[in-house]
Amino acid sequence: MTPRSRRPILPLGLLLGALLSLLVTVDVSTPPTAVTISQAPCAVLRSGEHQAGKCLGVFDPTALPVPTAALTSTPSPSPTPNAPASATATGRAKPTLTATQARTSPPTSPPSPGCIGPQLTSQSQVQPNASYCGGQATSRIVLADGDTWVGGEVTGVATGRQEGAVNCASNCTLVNMNVHDNPTAFAGIYMASGVQTNVSIIGGRVTGSGSLGIGGGDADGLTIHDVEIDHNGATADCGFEGGGFKGGATHHLHFFNNYVHDNNCMGVWLDINSANNEIDHNRVINNGDGGIFYEISQDASIHNNDVEGNGARACSWLWGAGIGIASSFNIQIYGNTLRGNCNGITGTQQNRPDSTPPAHLLENLSINGNSVAAPGKTGVAADNGADLTTRNIVFANNSYSGGAVLCGFAC
Write the pLDDT tens digit of every residue in 360-374: 999 999 999 999 998
**166 falls within a domain:** yes
DSSP code string of 65-122 = PPPS---SS-PPPPPPTT--TTB-TTSSBPPPP-PPPP-PPPP-PPPPTT--S----S
**In whole angstroms, what is the distance from residue 328 CA to residue 314 CA?**
20
Mean pLDDT of 108-117: 68
Which residue, of 230, 261, 292, is where some domain finishes? Answer: 261
The confidence score (pLDDT) of residue 34 equals 34
Q: Which of helix, strand or coil describes residue 123?
A: helix
Question: Is residue 242 within 8 Å of residue 219, measured between CB atoms?
Answer: no
The confidence score (pLDDT) of residue 113 equals 61
| Domain shared by 166 and 255, yes or no | yes
How does pLDDT run across 152-161, given as a tens digit for each residue? 999 999 999 9
Which residue, of 261, 288, 323, is where some domain finishes? Answer: 261
**Residue 67: is its pLDDT beyond 80?**
no
Helix extents (H) in 139-243: none
**Residue 19: is its pLDDT beyond 50?**
no
| Domain shared by 353 and 378, yes or no | yes
**Residue 69: is its pLDDT beyond 60?**
no
**Residue 99: is its pLDDT beyond 90?**
no
Q: How confident is the model at residue 316 (pLDDT cuts 50, 70, 90)?
A: very high
Which residues, other chains included, contact 163 with Cβ-Cβ below 8 Å and sequence gap of 6+?
Answer: 140, 185, 186, 187, 190
**39 falls within a domain:** no
CATH number at residue 406: 2.160.20.10
Taking the CA of residue 115 as centre, how many other CA atoms within 13 Å lie in the half-sphere pointing to its CB? Answer: 25
**Residue 101: is its pLDDT beyond 70?**
no
Residue type, position 331, single letter: I
| Domain shared by 317 and 288, yes or no | yes
| Domain shared by 120 and 170, yes or no | yes
Which residue, of 245, 261, 277, is where some domain finishes? Answer: 261
The confidence score (pLDDT) of residue 194 equals 82
Instruction: Calculate what percentage of the chain has a pLDDT beyond 70.
Output: 73
**33 falls within a domain:** no
**10 falls within a domain:** no
Taking only Cα atoms into account, the Rg of the chain, rounded to an integer number of angstroms, comes to 24
pTM attached to this predicted model: 0.77
**Residue 352: is its pLDDT beyond 70?**
yes
**Residue 103: is its pLDDT beyond 70?**
no
| Domain shared by 253 and 192, yes or no | yes
The confidence score (pLDDT) of residue 111 equals 59
| Domain shared by 271 and 216, yes or no | no
**Residue 245: is its pLDDT beyond 90?**
yes
The confidence score (pLDDT) of residue 9 equals 36
**381 falls within a domain:** yes
User: What is the residue range of 189's domain?
Assistant: 108-261
**62 falls within a domain:** no
**In whole angstroms, what is the distance from residue 310 CA to residue 44 CA?**
29
**3 falls within a domain:** no
| Domain shared by 189 and 296, yes or no | no
| Domain shared by 235 and 127, yes or no | yes
Which residues, other chains included, contact 100 with Cβ-Cβ below 8 Å and sequence gap of 6+?
Answer: 231, 232, 233, 234, 262, 263, 264
| Domain shared by 298 and 408, yes or no | yes
Q: How many CB atoms lie within 10 A of CB 405?
A: 15
**Residue 274: is its pLDDT beyond 90?**
yes
Q: Which of helix, strand or coil describes residue 225?
A: strand
| Domain shared by 282 and 350, yes or no | yes
What is the length of the chain?
411
Instruction: Calculate what percentage of the chain has a pLDDT beyond 90.
Output: 70
| Domain shared by 240 and 286, yes or no | no
How many domains does the chain divide into?
2
Mean pLDDT of 40-64: 29
**223 falls within a domain:** yes
| Domain shared by 139 and 253, yes or no | yes
Residue bearing the bigger pLDDT, 305 or 70: 305
Which residues, other chains included, contact 140 with Cβ-Cβ below 8 Å and sequence gap of 6+?
Answer: 123, 157, 158, 159, 163, 164, 165, 166, 167, 185
